[in-house]
Structure 1
């Protein structure tokens, strides 16, 4: 299976464009994520790229390291959220480019035979999703309407477990449907936005009231 490395690079370029003129005042303003400023979102995106790069680089040497040690992820976000806009831009570009280089050097994308060896593929899809989803959270003009159809369908594939049993999903703009039961229908981007908590149900239709969504699912191993 060929990973969507070009799609990750495209998401990174969009992120770089969006923050190109970001000011220090905007960094300190609230994002759409409760309790997080835009600086927190940017700190998370930059450090997630750094942490994933480190895992891939160590694996190339036959070494296995944790993505983060306990508590490390949140501590780094809090410590770096208050960077200046210029510092956030520099960190974002540095770590996203480092991650792209690390993945470009991976020769074998097949599933590892040993469960002790990290599978490099799921992290690529995770990065693709997280950049586009957090671009919305930055509240700097990117909305789910900008998500590609392939990303939206992929997000629904991954996030459908948030939907309770007895409900199904059907996209009205592409030939895709998920599950059985009471149908929730609408444009695929709007389905993905609703499931990801980045959009309301206004454009969705259902014979029954829309159900509350469950917790964020554990990501599948390879998708």
Structure 2
């Protein structure tokens, strides 16, 4: 008999799953506000229409479901067979009819949610591999989905902003992004400060850093490469403008 609720009893994981599902619902709302004709419109991602964003989010759910299947069975099931296959899948999805594209999003989201729901407690710790090659516990899929749906809801360019993203998600995003910079060494000489938060992000050892400052939503928007509205820059790399953030993913 299948479960009617999540099998996991871990309160932290339950909260992560709730945030992912809330983000999915938010993305669905912004998508459903668009007419079929508006799916052809542009987004905040250069070169991508709304069709590409919806296809990407739909296929991302399918890919994460494969990781949960991996955790459940122990049989390796990669997210994608290759980066090229992933890109081809998105390009194909963008050509689907509006109803097929909407069904892709709806059905893939339900499929992923059910895979999460039915995963036994012990299997959440089983290691899987992300599309970027990182080895993580299956529980990380909840966060991977959370950041996808919340950020791409904004990318649809249909009125959503980073101010709509819950504060805990924004805080984790900033930690995630600046951590990726630190791992690659691309944050050298760059310091990020959030209004009201005394803990800086980035290269805190720099003698004369370029300092990015602003409210949390604006700082995360900048860090995620979505623009510089609401942030200010000071220091040697500023030159009276806000520099582009280092690459995140």
| Aligned 8 A contact 1:40 1:81 in 2 | yes
Give the match for residue 62 of structure 1: 74
- Among 218, 224, 244, which residue is 1:190 paired with? 218
Shift of 1:175: 5.1
SS in 1 for 2:56: helix
Quick one: distance in 1 between partners of 2:231 and 2:162? 13
- Among 108, 125, 147, which residue is 1:110 paired with? 125
SS in 1 for 2:191: strand
Give the match for residue 27 of structure 2: 15
Deviation track 1:2-59 (CA, whole Å, cap 9, x = no partner) reads 3300000000111111122422211112222111110010000000101111221243
Segments of 5+ residues of structure 1 without an aligned counterpart are 218-223
Quick one: distance in 1 between partners of 2:116 and 2:213? 36
- Among 150, 166, 190, which residue is 2:168 paired with? 150
Shift of 1:110: 3.2
| Aligned 8 A contact 2:55 2:90 in 1 | yes
SS in 2 for 1:23: coil
TM superposition score normalised by structure 1: 0.86
Shift of 1:207: 4.1
Matches within 5 A, 1:116-131: 119-131=137-149
Give the stretch that moved more between structures: 82-91 or 62-71.
Answer: 82-91
- Among 25, 29, 41, which residue is 2:53 paired with? 41
Segments of 5+ residues of structure 2 without an aligned counterpart are 1-9, 129-133
Aligned length: 215
Give the stretch that moved more between structures: 171-180 or 181-190.
Answer: 171-180
| Aligned 8 A contact 1:155 1:192 in 2 | yes
TM superposition score normalised by structure 2: 0.77
Deviation track 1:40-98 (CA, whole Å, cap 9, x = no partner) reads 10000000101111221243122111110122211111111122332222211111111
Deviation track 1:183-216 (CA, whole Å, cap 9, x = no partner) reads 3221111110001011215433434414443222
Quick one: distance in 2 between partners of 1:39 and 1:99? 20
Give the match for residue 247 of structure 2: 215
Give the match for residue 220 of structure 1: none
Pair 1:28-2:40 in alignment: yes
